[in-house]
Structure 1
Amino acid sequence: MIKGAIFDLDGTLFDSMSIWSTIGNDYLLSLGIEPKENLAETFETFTLEESAEYYRSHYGVTLSISEIINGINDMLSDFYRNEVPLKKGVVELLEKFSQNQIKMCIATAMDKQLANEALLRLHVRDYFIQIVTTQDVGSGKTNPKIYLKALEYLKTEKQETLVFEDAYHALVTAKNEGFVVVGVHDGYESIQTEIQKISDYYITDYLTAFI
């Protein structure tokens, strides 16, 4: 029986991956530095701190880690505070889970304040016990710490807790740790076949999933 659910935000609840596909390059360009690669691919498994350190070590950015993160968040803030939409059917799913007394938590790599503000604007913040970020636990989603921290808030067992993710590496981490994993289709994640294989459940549309 499912008693808890842990949700990623970008590409999972938020229809937001379009901005993440360019933000890495856009940040460098804002500093007058020409990117040498597609940074969205490079940063796919990185935390914001790891991305900031990469700018320093590979592109010679002399700003501090915190200054780089603040700069990136400044570029993202307007989108999250005013524009980012939920994926279709998210509200219906959250309401269904709430009615069935399934406790819910957020596990995200994005800035906690921006996440909170976006969830409040979209009128879904109250569904979640807590927002846990990779900054909180000091590691990205190749490490299960973020899911285990979320589990502490939910007070459920791994085998009765769903983890919703759109990224393959995150699904692998949660699956290997013993969670029940739900792969969420997003057009910006190319390896859908692998995601379907690793997932206990795979959804392309919240309107028909678990409702």
Structure 2
Amino acid sequence: METTMRLQGAIFDMDGTLVDSMQAWKSLGSSFIRRQGKEPDEDLDEMLRVMSFQEGAAYCVRRYGLALEPEEVMRLMRAEIEDFYRFHVAPKVGVERLLSLMKMEGVWMYVATATDHPLVEIAMDHAGLTDYFRGMVTCGDAGRGKEDPEVYEMALRRLRCRKEETVVFEDALFALRTAKAAGFRTVAVYDPSEPDQDAMKAEADYYIRSFEDWTELI
């Protein structure tokens, strides 16, 4: 594969980019609250989206008067996501073909995600994507969310690739902007969870509606 980007390395987000999982995360809070016999606020899931798992659990306990400790809420929510990753998660359409081609051509690849290590391992194994990657780094490892570029910088250091020849694949606008501002080339990957696709197209170096559009990258 001869790429117009002269790729040495590639850093991929997981949820919504490599695997089709954002809907499970998007409705996690509201579905959990309903199972506790409460009616969630209309904007609950959107509020939880910008919180850490621990912050979100504590908020749910306070807001809905749950007779549970935040740690128990986290455990129960985590069990739901783990079940989804272990038995139901699927790779995004066309992603395996692109990863296979990149690996064959010597592009080194890493995962950079906000999801915790054990869940990433379960999801990647079930989706059949683990062997394409040299490793993973999480926002927990970086100590910061994706509003800060450290998770991408950590991945880059581990890959030992040149930044100008490394591309970041993201489905969320705020994360794409972070990577772009840090000097990475960026590929915007369409996912319905991101409402501002016009901005994704305008701000990324490349935009793919589906990984079946990978020919735009070669």
Indicate whether the TM-score tops 0.5.
yes
Asked if structure 1 preserves the Cα contact closer than 8 Å seen for 2:8 and 2:108, the reply is: yes
Asked if structure 2 preserves the Cα contact closer than 8 Å seen for 1:166 and 1:186, the reply is: yes
TM superposition score normalised by structure 1: 0.91
Asked if structure 2 preserves the Cα contact closer than 8 Å seen for 1:3 and 1:156, the reply is: yes
The residue that corresponds to 1:107 in the other structure is 112
Asked if structure 2 preserves the Cα contact closer than 8 Å seen for 1:47 and 1:134, the reply is: no
The residue that corresponds to 2:7 in the other structure is 2
Distance, in Å, in 2 between the alignment partners of 1:123 and 1:83 is 12
In structure 2, list runs of 5 or more residues that go unmatched: 1-5
The residue that corresponds to 2:44 in the other structure is 39
Select which of 10, 14, 21 maps to 1:16: 21
Select which of 145, 154, 163 maps to 2:150: 145
Select which of 156, 159, 167 maps to 1:162: 167
Q: 1:25 to 1:34 in 2, by over 3 A?
A: same
Bigger mean CA deviation after superposition, 98-107 or 129-138? 129-138
Q: 1:65 to 1:104 in 2, by over 3 A?
A: farther
The residue that corresponds to 2:87 in the other structure is 82
TM superposition score normalised by structure 2: 0.88
Percent sequence identity is 39
What is the CA-CA distance between 1:58 and the residue it aligns to? 4.2
Select which of 57, 73, 85 maps to 1:52: 57
Deviations 1:112-135 (A, max 9, x none): 212212212222201111121122
Asked if structure 2 preserves the Cα contact closer than 8 Å seen for 1:73 and 1:111, the reply is: no
Asked if structure 1 preserves the Cα contact closer than 8 Å seen for 2:90 and 2:126, the reply is: no
The residue that corresponds to 2:211 in the other structure is 206
In structure 1, list runs of 5 or more residues that go unmatched: none
Q: Structure 2: which amino acid aligns with 1:187?
A: P
Q: Over the residues paired in the alignment, what is the CA RMSD in angstroms?
A: 1.9
Distance, in Å, in 2 between the alignment partners of 1:143 and 1:63 is 32
Bigger mean CA deviation after superposition, 113-122 or 39-48? 39-48
Choose 1 or 2 for highest CA Rg. 2
Structure 1 residue runs of 4 or more that deviate by more than 6 Å after TM superposition: none
Q: Aligned residue pairs: how many?
A: 211
